[in-house]
Structure 1
Amino acid sequence: MAARRVDPERVAWKREQITVEAGRLFSTQGYERTSVADIARAVGVRQASIFYYFTDKAALFRAIFERDLPVAEALIARHADAEEPVPAILDVLSELAKDAADPGASGMVVELLRRVEHDPALIAVVMRTAEVLTGGLAALIARGISDGDIDAALDPVETATWLQAIVDATYLNARPGYSPLPELQRTVLGYLTPRTQQGAEPHD
């Protein structure tokens, strides 16, 4: 009897379907209160099928954030050679914060903060994505400083880290249906703009 052939595209599609449904449940019910059986029912498959695609519930939770890495890499690559660094930085941050208006956004961030204490592999996933974003933003910030469009007193790497913290805050303070992008951009511009352009003189 011939071995059953595995269709990689179908496997990837099913993994994505399971990951999306799991993310929805984790964000609304919490990680601990969401069972694999709950996820299987939401997807419309048997519980055993979930374990065909993921080793356990922790691996499924990690998969939600593993999707962020290729997205971050593509986002940074798309803006790396932008002629004007400041608009490019705003575009990157706006893209990162665009899902903050989603009803489950804050819930997922809370669950992530709870889970990182128990899952070193999850920490590694999140840190790798953060490193990609930090490196890309820092390069744009350095160019903006060189061009005179960003405050020269800022350290590119530290500033890139702070900008990501501002994005994180949009999720922690998210309200369903409310877009934080105008406030995000206003805050970031105020942080990056050279003090002389803000009309403030340096203090001794």
Structure 2
Amino acid sequence: MTDSRKPRARAVDKRRRLTTEAARVLHEQGVERTTLADIARAADVPVGNVYYYFKTKDELVLAALSEHSAHLDALTGRLDRLPDPRDRLKALIEAWIDQRDVAARHGCPTGTLAVELDKRADGILDTEAGAVIRRLLDWTGQQFRALGLSDPDDLAVTLVSAYQGMSLLTNALRDPDITARQGARLLRWLDSLEAPNQTA
């Protein structure tokens, strides 16, 4: 690596660390309670350097939302390797169940951020948070459509709404077992769904 590329690589690494830690710290503390200094400390970046990469906290929130979107894309990319769409949906639910302890402490990363950002007057960042949730709905709808089920987009809303609801209750009651139980119920619900041409 040439000397001229080393500073560029370090800059990319710092930005990556700031983005990753912004997603984590904002999820754990919320937007209002989080400062740029909190994120800089978590990323091990001098707070003065943060402004080189992100001029405002809102820019860091946008970066965190991009991180959530990237995590979602990575997850659905892995699930897309499964040959059966029902198995993909089941694996999605199992991933939610696996995160039940995190949900108990902090709720759904994107859902909690969307709710908090909706309280703000500008209406820009909450739209971005909604776009991440829309990506999940679209992917989920594609799986129901591949199964040949009626109203695939409504089924996607049912599934994602159930996830958001169980995440909220798991967090509010600090009870990860809620996600485990409701996740198992969703798995049974998926097994019960049949395409119209499969019914007797």
User: Common fold, TM-score beyond 0.5?
Assistant: yes
SS of alignment partner, residue 99 of structure 2: helix
Of 153, 157, 164, 1:161 maps to 157
Of 130, 133, 154, 1:130 maps to 133
Cα gap change, 1:15 to 1:168, in 2 (>3 Å): farther
* Aligned pairs, number: 186
> Contact 1:18–1:43 (CA<8 Å) still a contact in 2?
yes
How far is 1:8 from its partner? 4.8
Residues 92-115 of structure 1, C-alpha deviations (whole Å, 9 max, x = no match): 233355434216422854443121
Which deviates the most, 3-12 or 62-71? 3-12
How far is 1:184 from its partner? 1.0
How far is 1:165 from its partner? 1.6
How far is 1:77 from its partner? 3.9
Q: Residue 86 of structure 1 aligns with which residue?
A: 86
How far is 1:160 from its partner? 0.8
CA RMSD between the two structures: 3.3
Residues 29-87 of structure 1, C-alpha deviations (whole Å, 9 max, x = no match): 43223222333344443322111121211111222221122333343344446443222
> Contact 2:19–2:67 (CA<8 Å) still a contact in 1?
no
> Contact 1:37–1:47 (CA<8 Å) still a contact in 2?
yes
Q: Residue 66 of structure 1 aligns with which residue?
A: 66
> Contact 2:113–2:129 (CA<8 Å) still a contact in 1?
no
SS of alignment partner, residue 168 of structure 1: helix
> Contact 1:90–1:185 (CA<8 Å) still a contact in 2?
no
Q: Residue 198 of structure 2 aligns with which residue?
A: none
Cα gap change, 1:133 to 1:39, in 2 (>3 Å): closer
Counterparts of 1:101 and 1:87, CA distance in 2: 23
Does residue 112 in structure 1 map to residue 108 in structure 2?
Answer: no
AA aligned opposite 1:39: I
Q: Residue 139 of structure 1 aligns with which residue?
A: 142
- Structure 2, unmatched stretches of 5+, are 195-200
Larger Rg: 1
TM-score (norm 2): 0.71
- Structure 1, unmatched stretches of 5+, are 147-151, 196-204
SS of alignment partner, residue 34 of structure 1: coil
TM-score (norm 1): 0.70
Relative to its length, the structure with more helix (as a share) is 2
